[in-house]
Structure formats: structure tokens, C-alpha cells
């Protein structure tokens, strides 16, 4: 009745070529969404942040004192 149906279940009906085409299609869709959405946001860091920006942020949070901030800023500018 179903000549393509064998012991592989639904995969027997679809065929290996169909499964490969479906996998390639899904991969392309995922890559398009990552490209449109900006994949760098998924990594948890921004590539445009400079060391001075990080230093300013640490000072603003209170992680370092004003003297430490000025010393580190001077080191960055050297």
C-alpha cells in the first residue's frame, strides 16, 4: 500500500534527500534571523565598548575610587 514506508517510520516516507533539504532550509532560516536580529547581542558583550568606557562604568558603580580611576585613565592614555 505504501511502497516507500519501511522500518524507518516517517523518515522512510520522506526519504534522506527530503530530510537534508529540510535541515538546510531550517539552517538558512536560523541564519537569516540571526543576521537580521544582530547576532552580537546573543553573546552578551558589545564590540564597540572601549576600555575607557569600562573604566567609567566601574567608577560609576563605585568599584574603584577617584584616584584609582584617574591613575587607570592616565595609564590608558599613555
Q: With beta carbons less than 8 A apart as the criterion, state whether 66 and 59 touch.
A: yes
Comparing 70 with 19, the larger pLDDT belongs to: 70
Q: What does the domain layout of the chain look like in residue ranges? A: 1-43, 48-78
Cβ neighbours for 11, distance < 8 A, ≥ 6 positions apart: 19
> Mean pLDDT score of the chain, rounded to an integer?
80
pLDDT at 78: 76
- In this prediction, residue 11 has a pLDDT band, given cuts at 50, 70 and 90, of low
pLDDT at 5: 53
Amino acid at each position: 500500500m505504501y511502497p516507500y514506508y519501511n522500518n524507518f517510520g516517517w523518515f522512510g516516507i520522506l526519504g534522506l534527500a527530503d530530510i537534508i533539504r529540510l535541515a538546510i532550509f531550517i539552517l538558512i532560516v536560523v541564519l537569516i534571523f540571526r543576521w537580521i536580529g544582530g547576532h552580537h547581542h546573543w553573546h552578551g558583550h558589545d564590540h564597540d565598548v572601549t576600555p575607557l568606557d569600562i573604566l567609567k562604568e566601574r567608577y560609576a558603580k563605585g568599584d574603584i575610587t577617584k584616584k584609582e580611576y584617574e591613575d587607570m585613565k592616565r595609564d590608558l592614555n599613555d
